Amino acid sequence: MAKLIKAIGEVRAHVPSNMTADFDKINPFLENAERLYVMHLIGKDEFLSLLGVYTAAQFKLEQIIDEDVRQAIIIAQKIICNLGYLFGLPMISVSIGTGGIQIQSSADKKTAFQWQTDEIKQALQELGFGAIEELLDHLELYPEKFSDYIASENYTKQKRFLINTAAEFSDYFEIKKSRFLFQSLCSLMYRIESNVMEKIFGEEFFQSLKAPDVSGKKKKLADKYIKPAIALLTGAKSVKERVFSYNDGIVTYNFLGTTQNLRESKELSADKIDPVVESLTAEANIFLQDAKDYITKNPEDFPDFVEQLPQRRFKGTNRKEAGIFMT
């Protein structure tokens, strides 16, 4: 059973009422969404803290005195409801019995067309994942009230990159400010920061750009030049590794597995992917060159910058008879 939602009225506040007739049927999916996308995101301690307030109010939002805490729970419920229905929709649309899997239909109600189902899924996805960003922003706005999250490893992970919010990433590469899409890109962004940015600017100098109090020309260097390069290179890698599809200028996350997405994914042959990757990479390289030029023109503002010498990587095959081994 979901812990932060106890009444069908709370579900209907976020999802249209004609989709929420059977609370017990959807509850397992609400529970999964709660565990995977709320507790996992804000940490167990902060989740239990919110649950304690909700329980003390006898599961009635209007009895929660602190407006900021009540709002946090409402946003969490928005995540749970929309993503719960997103993942539960395939199951609640059918019935499973001795006759196998059957579509639920009657003289009054007919099964929706595929395009209608896809549009509903898209709406649920955007509302649910958009609320993730909303929740994290809200918790960070009141650190004294949500100290368990601020002190958690979860918060530290959210802040480990130079670009650390989905909204900021969308300023440079459009992902509709979706925290879910941003989280999906983190492993790629880690590689871009480690294998590209730290090699170009030096590890210590690059890490200094992440300081909370960075200001002046260092902040301008990060915001105007380096962040766009990171976003564009991450976008290029996401297309190359099929995390994203990029058709007719529109980025699509390969997640829902709808008929349309699957068809587009199959059409993304190398001759369609490579030009997109090359274009994004070329634009990123312009930003990186401009960044180096900016540092060169303002050396007094970057005393800790050290020009990085290119490192040659040796490749070879160890042969016992040669007596030379490389590790």
Q: Is 47 contained in some domain? A: yes
Q: Which of 127, 122, 152 is nearest to 139 (CA)?
A: 152
Which of 157-171, 179-193, 246-260 is predicted with the least confidence, judged by mean pLDDT?
Answer: 246-260
177 pLDDT band, cuts 50/70/90, is confident
Total tally of structural domains belonging to the chain: 2
pLDDT tens digit sequence for 93-113: 655 555 554 555 555 555 555
| Sequence-separated (6 or more) residues with CB below 8 Å from residue 207 | none
Looking at the predicted structure, is the pLDDT value of residue 325 above 70?
Answer: no
pLDDT tens digit sequence for 278-319: 999 999 999 999 999 999 999 999 999 999 876 655 555 555
Beta strand residue intervals within 241-301, DSSP E: 244-247, 250-253
Q: Is 173 contained in some domain? A: yes
Same domain flag for 111 and 179:
no
Same domain flag for 136 and 221:
no
258 pLDDT band, cuts 50/70/90, is very low
Q: Which burial class, exposed, middle or buried, applies to 58 when counting CB atoms under 10 A from its CB (0-12, 13-18, 19+)?
A: exposed
Token pair, residue 188, equals: 């790629």
Same domain flag for 32 and 136:
yes
Same domain flag for 152 and 12:
yes
User: Pick the residue with more confidence: 123 or 191?
Assistant: 191
Same domain flag for 205 and 226:
yes
pLDDT tens digit sequence for 33-67: 999 999 998 999 999 999 999 999 999 999 999 99
| Residue 102 main-chain phi, psi, to 5 deg | -130, 145
Looking at the predicted structure, is the pLDDT value of residue 264 above 60?
Answer: no
User: Pick the residue with more confidence: 242 or 95?
Assistant: 242
Q: Is 67 contained in some domain? A: yes
State the average pLDDT for the chain.
82
Same domain flag for 12 and 151:
yes
Parent domain of 49: 8-97+107-156
Q: Is 130 contained in some domain? A: yes
Q: Is 315 contained in some domain? A: no
pLDDT of residue 260: 38
Same domain flag for 182 and 277:
yes
CA 241, distance to chain mean position in Å, is: 16
Residue 43 near residue 152, CB atoms below 8 Å = yes
Q: What average pLDDT does range 198-209 have in this prediction?
A: 96
Same domain flag for 143 and 195:
no
pTM of the entire predicted model: 0.73
% pLDDT > 70, the chain: 74
Q: Which burial class, exposed, middle or buried, applies to 96 when counting CB atoms under 10 A from its CB (0-12, 13-18, 19+)?
A: exposed
Same domain flag for 149 and 171:
no
Same domain flag for 192 and 138:
no
| Residue 105 main-chain phi, psi, to 5 deg | -150, 155
Q: What average pLDDT does range 230-258 have in this prediction?
A: 66
